[in-house]
Amino acid sequence: MENMMGLLRIHVHRGVNLAIRDTFSSDPYVVKLKTRVIKQNVNPEWNDDLTLSITDPSLPVKIAVYDRDTFSLDDKMGEAEFEIGSLVEALKMKLEGLPNGTIIRKIQPSRDNCLSEESCVIWSNGKVVQNLFLRLKNVECGEVELQLQWIDIPGSRGL
């Protein structure tokens, strides 16, 4: 607990145009911690929350998408990673009382990240959150939409 800085809640919203790994479709799920499997869908809407303990916010967070198979090993459908540095920097500003939807920071897609479009750290319902669209790597197609939110834990090191 003393090494932990806090928790990162990752809301896995949906996948878009994911690769087909079965005959006509796929049964995708996201792994860091595991989302539920959405049967026969290459555009799944998970709306699942995954929570990770963070000890070093400078390290990238890696996720992978798999196709669930019943009688063989699950097929990998791509992977992505993202940095949480922009979210952490916005949290350190100790912002309060901003209008809902205020953009705090913008992060542009580049060759150095998996962003498929501009990512924004915003003020939403009294909290700082970051919305991300990640392009999956090592696969022919597919993106995953996430929303990040920091959770302070009493007794942790904090930011």
Residues with Cβ < 8 Å from 12, sequence gap 6 or more?
Answer: 30, 35, 46, 47, 48, 49, 50, 144, 145, 146
Domain map (residue ranges) of the chain: 6-151
Specify the CATH number of the domain 6-151: 2.60.40.150
Mean pLDDT of the chain: 94
Tokens of 108: 């542009």
Each residue's pLDDT tens digit, 12-37: 999 999 999 998 999 999 998 899 99
User: Token pair for residue 103?
Assistant: 């953009």
- At residue 98, does pLDDT exceed 90? yes
Q: Give the mean model confidence (pLDDT) for residues 137-157.
A: 93
Average pLDDT over residues 111-140: 96
CA 102 to chain centre: 21
Checking if the pLDDT of 110 tops 90, the result is yes
How many residues belong to the chain? 159
- Report pLDDT for 1: 55
